[in-house]
Copies of this chain bind each other. A is one copy, B any other.
Amino acid sequence: MLVAHGSRNQAANDEVSQLATRVAGLGQGDFDAVVPAFLEFANPDIHQGIERCAEMGASEIIVVPYFLAAGKHVTKDIPLELECARTRYPQISIETSQYLGENGAMAELIIQCSENVGWSGNPA
């Protein structure tokens, strides 16, 4: 489950859903499905995302926080939601992975981004 912040801008949420689809394609064999979920402003929320996994018969859910820094959302809000989910679904193993910003490749990625100047300011 790819958990993003969620935006009032639906195009931004769609980006996350499309990314989840790309991850699913790229990671075939590593996992059975990739479900997006949003902390705020969009559906499915975390509760609904876990429910969707449960309906698909998941025995193990790895939650990847699609966040850049360990602010309150990563340290408090997501863990609390998952604690509730574990109570609801004791038969499912629900674990959290490294959050995105923790990944050591981030500095290299920023340099790559900086080489693509001239973004229009409009979402794709």
Which residues in A have some Cβ–Cβ distance to B below 8 Å? 2, 4-5, 7-9, 11-13, 15-16, 19, 22-23, 25-27, 30-31, 62, 64, 66-72, 74-75, 79, 95-103, 105-119, 121-124
Contacts and interface: CB of A to CB of B under 8 A. Distances in A.
Contacts of A101: 15, 19
A113 B99 contact: yes
Contacts of A79: 121
Contacts of A75: 9, 121-123
A97 B71 CA distance: 25
Contacts of A112: 98, 103, 105
Given A64-B110, A67-B68, 10 more contacts: A5-B69, A9-B70, A11-B70, A15-B70, A62-B114, A79-B121, A98-B112, A98-B117, A100-B109, A102-B119
